[in-house]
Every structure is written in C-alpha cells, then in structure tokens.
Amino acid sequence: MAKVNTIGILTSGGDSPGMNAAIRAVTRSAIFNGFQVKGIYRGYTGLINDEVKDFTTESVSNIIQTGGTILRTSRCKEFMTPEGLQKAYDTLQKEKIDALIVIGGNGSLAGASKFAEAYDVPCIGLPGTIDNDLYGTDVTIGYDTTLNTITQCVDKIRDTATSHERIFFVEVMGRDAGFLAQNSAIASGAEAAIIPEDSTDEDQLMKFMARGIRKSKHSCIVIVSENPNGHGAMYYADRVRKEYEGYDVRVSILGHLQRGGSPSARDRIFASQVGVGAINALLEGQRNVMVGIKNDEIVYVPLKSAIGKRKPIDRQLIRVLDELSI
C-alpha cells in the first residue's frame, strides 16, 4: 500500500450525536501521528464538488459537546454512479488525499466500500448512526444519546397517558432495526415494543391488548419502530380504534428530535475511541474496514460484513420486556 500522508474525513447520511466527537478524535489523532487532515464538507456531495478544507487541531476545538456535524452531511445518489465515483476520485487526486475516513451508517459505508473497490483508496468507516444496526460492533455513535432522548420523551408522554387513561403508540426511528424501540421500551417501562425483529402481525397486538389492557391497566405505552411498509404507530392505533371499542388512543411520532442534542458521555467516549482507532487502523495497514467495539475491545470489521450482515437483537431483551409488562 502506498504511503499515507494526508487523510480526508467526511460525514454522510443521517446525522447522529457524537459525530463531532469522532471528527475531533480523528483529526487530533491523525495530526499527533504526523498526518495532514482535510475536512470534506457535505458528505459525498462535497467530495464530488471539491468542498475540501485543511483541518488543524483548532478546527475541531470546542465541538465534542455539540450535536450534528460541523462537516455538514447529505445523501448523494450521484456518488453511487460511475460518473460520481470518478469525480470523487478526481477530487482526492487534486487534494492529494491518500486515505478516506467516512463517518456514517449503512448507506454511507456501502458508498465507501464501492469507492474502495472502484479505486485503490484505503477507506476506513466509523459507525455513525442512531439505529445501532451495523454488524460487528456492540454500539454505534449516537445510539446512546438517542436512547436517552426517547426515554425522556416517553416519561413525559406517560404523565398524560396516565392522567387521561389513554393508550399511546409512540413511534421511534431505527430504519429496519428495533434496537431503539426495544431498549427504550424497557428503559421507560412501556407495556410493549413492536419491532421488525419480532412478529408484528395481528396476534402480537391481540396478545398485548388482552394482557396489558383488559386485565388491569387503564393506560399504557407501546413503542413502535418506524416501518417503511406503513405498519407504524398510526397503523396500530387505527387497528385498536376499529377492533377494540372504548379505548382512547393517541399517537406520538417523535421524529427528528431524536437526532439532535448534545451527545451523552458514553457517545463522546465511544466516538473518541473509534476515532483514534481509525488512525491506528491506517498505521497498521488496515483498509476497507469499519472500526467498532466488541466486548470493550476495538475491532476491525470488513465493510462488506458491516453492511451486509444483519445485526441480531438480543432475544433475552424481548423476554425481559415481556415479563416486566404484566
């Protein structure tokens, strides 16, 4: 592998709390180890359009506590075309960038993997997504903060649910993974979680209604993971209204407030660890891997595995919620 002198860093896809902590860690660790660093603004769009700026340690001062990403972000369909990949490579050549560090989720790391295959450029991925759905790492950047945000919101919703004796279906993010829904349900004392990894058919709702409401409870919270097929919180609320008369049903879709806010201490620490880990990966000659943490140890996961394998949910957590929601 050719010697790496200059590292480019970008954030792509949906923002997540802790991305700035990762940008800071990558930049400072890279400079500490003798590399030059260039920040690429607006994700792959900025890479195509040459929106690149030299970074110093001062460039990342006072950002560890901030949400969002100072590099901005975008979703770029053009990057996945041969023409887009060529433009991105031309920018790397022009800016003399030898390696690329990409902070993002499934789609972002898929782009990095495709770029690395098309052109012989070392790419290192950092798991930046609130969904916690990347294979090979126990957690992802932003997941802990978002989990806490959801829990705080549900705590407030429960006050109203109890006061008015209502059923609340609360929809949370997660793409096609139920980590946020399942664990926020446990943390907030919700009566049920409807997640992609578990059956979301009619029987699940019937079981919940029979056990959670008809026995003794006059109000309850159900956390529903967003669903691209339309089986989200509105769908289940409508079913209750039609199939179970006499219940006051409400829906709360938490939306983008889940992405914002100052990152938790845990997210700041994790982002810092994997940020330094990305530079260590390059020093060790690693390429086309995602840096994660497994059992408190830094791990290098091939990009194709990180995006291609489905991360399993802990079935014991489903049983925990099931037992505690009686």
- Specify the domain boundaries for CATH 3.40.50.460 within the chain: 144-259
- CATH class, domain 144-259, is alpha beta
**Torsion, Cα of 75, 223, 178, 144 (10° steps):** 70
Residue 205 pLDDT exceeds 90: no
- Specify the domain boundaries for CATH 3.40.50.450 within the chain: 6-142+263-308
Average pLDDT of span 283-310? 97
- The Cβ of residue 184 has, within 10 Å, a number of other Cβ atoms equal to 28
Residue 303 tokens, joined: 């990009």
Q: How far is Cα 170 from Cα 190, in angstroms, rounded to an integer?
A: 10
pLDDT in the model for residue 244: 84
Q: How far is Cα 101 from Cα 122, in angstroms, rounded to an integer?
A: 9
Q: How far is Cα 226 from Cα 120, in angstroms, rounded to an integer?
A: 37
Let me know if 131 is a catalytic residue.
Answer: yes
pLDDT (tens digit per residue) in 47-58: 999 999 999 999
pLDDT (tens digit per residue) in 185-201: 999 999 999 998 875 45
- CATH class, domain 6-142+263-308, is alpha beta
| Positions of E strands within 109-209 | 123-127, 166-172, 192-194
Exactly one of 15, 131, 144, 198 is catalytic; which is it? 131
